[in-house]
Structure 1
Amino acid sequence: PADRYKILPQDMPAQDPVKRRSNVNEVATGYTETHARLEAMRCLQCKTAPCIKGCPVQIRIKDFIAAIADGDSKKALAIIKENSLLPAVCGRVCPQEVQCQQTCTVGLKFKDPTKAVSIGRLERFVADLDQNQDSVPSVAPDTGMKVAIIGSGPGGIVAATDTRRAGHDVTIFEAFHKTGGVMVYGIPEFRLPKAIVQKEIGILTKMGVKIVCNFIVGRIRTIEQLMKEDGFDAVYIGVGAGLPRFMGIESESLVGVYSANEYLTRANLMKA
């Protein structure tokens, strides 16, 4: 462990500030293999793996990091995808600093969470290497059960993945004309490129998940109709928290004053 403590944290490469001020491309450009392997070597491979306790989906973090250190990125990605279909997304926007990295032994040693092993950056590294590949999770034999997923945001995608893996017939119903939920309408391009979100969602269709856009459940069909008339055995509701919370201050209802939700939706989905 003493030798590993001496390895410096690897900074995330980024666009030059002069160049990025004139574009909306992603600011962070991602680790190189050298960056990734050095950062992975900082991991102590703790027996108790406290980082896993901080991960909401319980990814085998120390195992995928060990695979990166060994130069086996395919194995690392396979380990991540046991629990998460969205490594390229989560590696970018998941708040690791208050989850898995907060409990990292290295960060605790230095009493500085910014010096913890950069788990999110390593997750992004292996996911980005797979962007041009067609790795698709295996699907169990057909169970004959039908599941409706309402909403194609992160919750809906995870639910669809897990139920499809189990062999169920899955259909996602999305109210908007584009899939992705908050990942598409609520996060700007320079933070999370839309193409990456669509690539991750594309894996669902390759798994056999059906996606229906412009479908407002409750208006076009009710949940009761989906179950009693359309033959769905279960319905997962993942519509998100899309309504804004206003502060009740003077003039907030004037024309031209937008909530953050509406502003981001207009900018990201409607280009308005």
Structure 2
Amino acid sequence: MTQEESRRLLQELSEKKKSGGLKTKDRLAIPPQEIPEQDPTARRRNVGEVALGYTEEQARLEAMRCLQCKNAPCIEGCPVRIRIRDFVGAIAEGDYRKALDIIEENSLLPAVCGRVCPQEVQCQEKCTVGLSLKDVSKAVSIGRLERFVADWRGEAILASRCQGTACVAGEVQGQDALATLPAVAPATGMKVAIVGSGPGGIVAAADTRRAGHEVTVFEAFHKPGGVMVYGIPEFRLPKAIVKREIETLRKMGVKIVTNFIVGRTRTIEQLMKEDGFDAVYIGVGAGLPSFMNVEGESLVGVYSANEYLTRANLMRAYDFGVGADTPIARSKRVAVVGGGNVAMDSARTAVRLGA
């Protein structure tokens, strides 16, 4: 469907909704909106994001596919119980600010979760549209809609601050109505240490800070973000988005300490008895890779996915020495053992590194 076709269909459905409302058959007849992507021949030579995001017309059309079920089974499929029906309904009406507010009642990472959460086995698996059409791939694209409103805010903030002049996302200054921070309760006097700055650590830090506690996040690497910066490739989750979420934490008053290995730099006992922390949340992730214990695992050129992706993502090995902190040897033939998400990230990274 072209952009002009999307625009015409949106106008037609909007008029029908005003005159008598959309019936279930009308909503089920709306074609699923495919997200624009980089052309495969182009993206194999760069690390830019593959999925480019919905246009406004596509987002509203996709949201109109939602049946607005009274029991909203999609919410049961969401680990953090976002009011999915309501935020999707707000997008259908074009009220993106309201949609974002609804999401952030339960999640402060819509730009991240909208990109990397496995919605197809969570909220979208429960979607009545997919069940009605007997095809889960035709469920309402909840994750893409979540991403849309998060990206809409980022783009709107940038546009309002730049005011037509040249500027770079992440470097503009100031605050506006779209960049409001989560409310923080009055100080409790309690100190909480968060070990690890991955998704779990960031969410724990945000929720704990919102409750009024003093929060410090300790990260072993030199950059915060955990698996979002060392494990998930740029082409799936741009690092500028992770940086934006980290900056939100800092503006909320969360202190972030990098190059700090809890257990070596300081023990948990020292943090609590000597440094005055009342509680410690351990969110260090899966951590160590699994090996098969077969002959040849220690040969030069054999990597765990953890090391390979960390070199490529966090250490920018794709720059091949220009800006890379830790390089990877150029390889024309690469074998990936495994077929899960991490294996696919490794294979796609290898292609971009010249394999």
For the aligned pair, the TM-score class normalised by the smaller chain equals over 0.9
What is the TM-score of this pair, normalised by structure 1?
0.98
The count of residues paired between Structure 1 and Structure 2 equals 272
Question: Is residue 172 of structure 1 aligned with residue 195 of structure 2?
Answer: no
Residue of 100, 103, 106 corresponding to 1:83: 106
What is the TM-score of this pair, normalised by structure 2?
0.75
Partner of 1:18: 41
Paired residue type of 2:103: I
Question: Is residue 230 of structure 1 aligned with residue 278 of structure 2?
Answer: no
The correspondence of residues 1-272 of structure 1 with structure 2, limited to 5 A, is 1-131=24-154, 132=157, 133-271=178-316, 272=327
Summarize deviations over 1:219-260 as a string: whole Å, max 9, x none: 011101111111111100000111000012220111221100
The alpha-carbon deviation at position 20 of structure 1 amounts to 2.1
Q: Which runs of 5+ in 2 are unaligned?
A: 1-23, 158-177, 317-326, 328-355
Give the whole-Å Cα distance in 2 for the aligned partners of 1:55 and 1:167.
26
Q: What percentage of residue pairs aligned between the two structures are identical?
A: 78
Give the whole-Å Cα distance in 2 for the aligned partners of 1:165 and 1:260.
35
Paired residue type of 2:49: E
Give the aligned CA root-mean-square deviation in angstroms.
0.9
Q: Which runs of 5+ in 1 are unaligned?
A: none
Give the whole-Å Cα distance in 1 for the aligned partners of 2:134 and 2:271.
52
Paired residue type of 1:8: P
Paired residue type of 2:83: R
Give the whole-Å Cα distance in 2 for the aligned partners of 1:267 and 1:24.
10
Summarize deviations over 1:6-57 as a string: whole Å, max 9, x none: 1110001111233323221001100011000000000011111100000000
Give the whole-Å Cα distance in 2 for the aligned partners of 1:20 and 1:173.
35
Summarize deviations over 1:78-105 as a string: whole Å, max 9, x none: 1111111110010000000000000000
Segment of structure 1 superposing worse, 174-183 or 245-254:
245-254
Paired residue type of 1:99: Q
Paired residue type of 1:231: G
Segment of structure 1 superposing worse, 115-124 or 199-208:
199-208
Give the whole-Å Cα distance in 2 for the aligned partners of 1:76 and 1:204.
21
Give the whole-Å Cα distance in 2 for the aligned partners of 1:21 and 1:144.
51
The alpha-carbon deviation at position 164 of structure 1 amounts to 0.4
Give the whole-Å Cα distance in 2 for the aligned partners of 1:154 and 1:97.
19
Answer with 1 or 2: which has the greater Rg.
Answer: 2
Give the whole-Å Cα distance in 2 for the aligned partners of 1:115 and 1:250.
45
